[in-house]
A and B are shown apart, each in its own frame.
Chain A
Amino acid sequence: MVDTLNRRDFIGATAVAGAAMLLEACKSDSGAQTAAVKKSSLNTINVALVGYGEEGKVLLESLLNIEGIRLVALCDIWDYHRGEGQRYLEKLGNEVRAYENYEDLLAKEKDLQAVIVATPDFWHAPMTNTCLKAGLHVYCEKMMSNTIDGARSMVKTMRDTGKLLQIGHQRRSNPRYLFTLNRLLHEAQFCGRLTAVNGQWNRAVKEDFGWPKKYEMPASMLAKYGYKDMHQFRNWRWFKGLGGGPLSDLGAHQIDIFNWWLGVTPKSVVASGGLDYFKNHDWYDNAMVIYEYPLEQGVARAFYQVQTTTSAGGGYYEMFMGDDGTIKMSEDPSICAIYREARANAVSWDDLVQKGYVAAKPVAATDATKVDVRETAQLAEYEIPVFFNKPPHQPHLENFFNAIRGTAKLNCPADEAFTSEYVIHKANEAVAAENKLHITNEEVKA
């Protein structure tokens, strides 16, 4: 009893303490933002943000946390977003000059070193190419472009100008992804021989984005920037010629992880999908894709699905399955897990636990009653106890700025991103073709 009374229910307490620390660590340093504007240097990098939509807002929050970065200009064709961004930054003491047109911005801002492009996909290539040619380093959101040719042109411009071009596959700089890839998949080899990969991002039905009527852009302006109407402008991801649909919007992040972690590109893709649910979109709202990856030890097949359905069913993740174990990885740490097969003896799991690389789940796996004799035993489940206390996009932006300063190498340069994104474009093609498409090593290179 005495011992029992001594025990603190400290799990709850530590969770609160951990959350408090995360919040603290995530606070932006508003003091740094109010500093007087100085000539940009390698220590302080002057940056412009082009595109203040959903993604631009996410990037801005990360950007404000990074020391030595001064946001000096903001560009968005929609005055509603532009004004919102300007007012928000003003409240933080960070006055920025706002522009409707990115070419005006480039003409007037003479002390820029880098531009962050977070506009709809079909604007990525022209904007990025212009910025690179203007002598600026560019961080461009994924997908690089809505077309393969557009993406290829970005790699060419990057090479021609010698400027840095980072593509926003932010998981490539995520410390948890880097740790799991390097320590667990490569160093510990605990998956054994990889035989399959499974990824998904299903999402529930959601209303299309709307807009306040009084802020509706005139038809002439919409046409000038490539949109048919306001609905298309607000929901560009669903329209051919503007975006790439869910496979590009959501799948790109995860299929990029397939390519990155497996270290090769697939040799073929077969897919099925369609515009089954929405009546006012262009792109498929359901898609299932299977890639064949030629690994050294044999073929590994990777299945990916993005469906318009309930968001139940495990959330969004990338699962790497071998004959010794499985890693289930996600940007959401609560979804991550690793599973060890009973036959796996190549890895000392006690050693991994001792190093702090893995932790046994609080509830141990039990031997469930087998329904079928062919069922394999339930696996021991572990968790990956590591974390990082920053917004998900911040490490990738930091990597970009550190590369500008010469203290790091880009984690996702455009040529590598092209290789990865090429096979995502091919998945959309495979849905349309309704048959298996072969992919050569040559065609995936920019």
Chain B
Amino acid sequence: MAASTEIRVLPAQKNAWDFTFAFWALRLWLGARALFVGIQKFAAYKSVAQPLIDPSTGQPDASGVMVNVSVKSYAFANYAGIPTALRDKFAHDPLLPKFALTAFDHILGPAFLLAGIMLILGLGTRLSLVIQGVLFIALTIGLILIDQNDGVAYLGIHIGLVAAAFMLAQHNRFAVLKKW
């Protein structure tokens, strides 16, 4: 009878891998979340006029009418850290000085991009979690000031996930830079 090739995993090791997988799940989720939030800051919808298509023929409608189709594009010129509608609300809050608002608007997108890339690559995992935590807290304060309580609760979920990630960070593996 051939010798068994089964790898015996000790209970303690098995438990450690569970924690590692749990952290990876959080690391990738939070990393992707931050990365694409940052990317979305460079997105804009533009209206493009196109002929109305007759569904029965697939050809432009005989009348010659046009319709506007919304097309999404990405460009540095599109960048808006804080959307105009919210920025106007923040601008009217006496606790938010204009310079702080402008600075936050400029750094929000790049900061999310940086935090996302760092977390996915494992490049200063804890540091990237700190950046995300600070950004979520800053956004929470902003929403409290403009009475957007639904958004505050929504951000609370994100903060919970960041906290859970900190608790599991000791089980991190496959990181470019384990320090920090």
Q: Which residues of A come within 8 Å of B, CB atoms?
A: 1-10, 12-15, 17-18, 21, 25, 175-176, 178-179, 182-183, 355-356, 385-389, 395
Contact = CB atoms under 8 A, between A and B. Distances in A.
A1 B64 contact: no
B45 A2 contact: no
Ranked 3 nearest A-B pairs via Cβ: A14-B47, A386-B65, A178-B63
Given A13-B44, A14-B46, A386-B66, A7 B155 contact: no
Contacts of A14: 45-47, 68, 70
A2 B33 contact: yes
Contacts, number: 107
Nearest to A173: B64
Given A4-B151, A9-B84, A388 B65 contact: yes
Given A18-B47, A179-B65, A6 B37 contact: yes
B81 to A, nearest CB: 8
Interface size band for B? 35 or more
B63 A8 contact: no
Interface in B126-171: 136, 139-140, 142-143, 148, 151-152, 154-155, 158
Most A CB within 10 A of own CB, among B53, B66, B84, B142: B66
A386 B68 CA distance: 8
Contacts of B86: 4-5
A3 B65 CA distance: 35
A251 B130 CA distance: 71
Contact of B66 (A6, A13, A388): A388
B49 A1 contact: no
A395 B53 CA distance: 19
A8 B80 contact: yes
Contacts of B52: 179, 356, 386
Interface string B98-124: 000000000010000000000000000
B63 A175 contact: yes
Nearest to A354: B55
A389 B68 CA distance: 11
B85 interface: yes
